Amino acid sequence: EDVPVPLDLVAALWKRTGAMDEIDAEALCEWLARLSLLLSLDLTLRVIRLHDVVRQFLLGRLGSREPALHADLLNTGRPGSGAWCDLAADAGYWWSWLFTHLRAADRHDELRRTATDLRYLVHKAQARSALAVEPDLAMACAQFPDDAVLAQLRRSYTQATGLLTACSSAADAMT
């Protein structure tokens, strides 16, 4: 979906699933780019972008193995503590796409736990923006439409978003 994917994440996934080191992963990405199978490869920013058509083809080839691939990707990117709230502030890919991968990996309970983890919500709002939390809560509510706690959390968060976006720090939000 024309998403910049960190080359370090790609290399770590390929190391985990294919015993490929970082140098070989970068060389493979360069080769794929020369074949125009990547939309772009930016070695300065260290990101790749996959063509939508290639992405759809690969997903079609995965079939029933798609959840396992997403699970491998999640295991590759998981913080050392095991808690998604401990993502680094500069882990932009994960702050943007975590819930998509949790859903695709059929990790619904983990998706719900993360959506209701106030530490995750605060850290994401600090790392991205207060508005960036809403899509995660919406996805969790769609996954668990009968969950009253999630529904109330989403309502309350949505109502407070205007105030939260006006805060310049976590300390401001507490006053």
Tell me: the pLDDT tens digits for 119-160? Answer: 999 999 999 998 999 999 999 999 999 999 999 999 999 988
| Res. 162: pLDDT tops 90 | no
Q: Hey, is 168 helix, strand or coil?
A: coil
**Residue of 52, 19, 22 whose CA lies nearest to 37:** 52
Read off the amino acid at residue 14: W
Can you tell me the mean pLDDT for 5-29? 95
Across the strands, what pairs with 40? 49
d(CA 82, CA 110): 11
Lowest mean pLDDT among 15-24, 151-160, 161-170: 161-170
DSSP assigned state of 41: E
Q: What is d(CA 92, CA 19) in angstroms, rounded to the nearest whole number?
A: 25
Distance CA 110, CA 118 (A): 14
Question: Rounded to whole angstroms, how far apart are CA atoms 164 and 40?
Answer: 36
Q: What is the pLDDT of residues 77-124, one digit of tens each?
A: 999 999 999 999 999 999 999 999 999 999 999 999 999 999 999 999
Q: How far is CA 57 from CA 52, 61, 66, 160, in A?
A: 9, 6, 12, 41
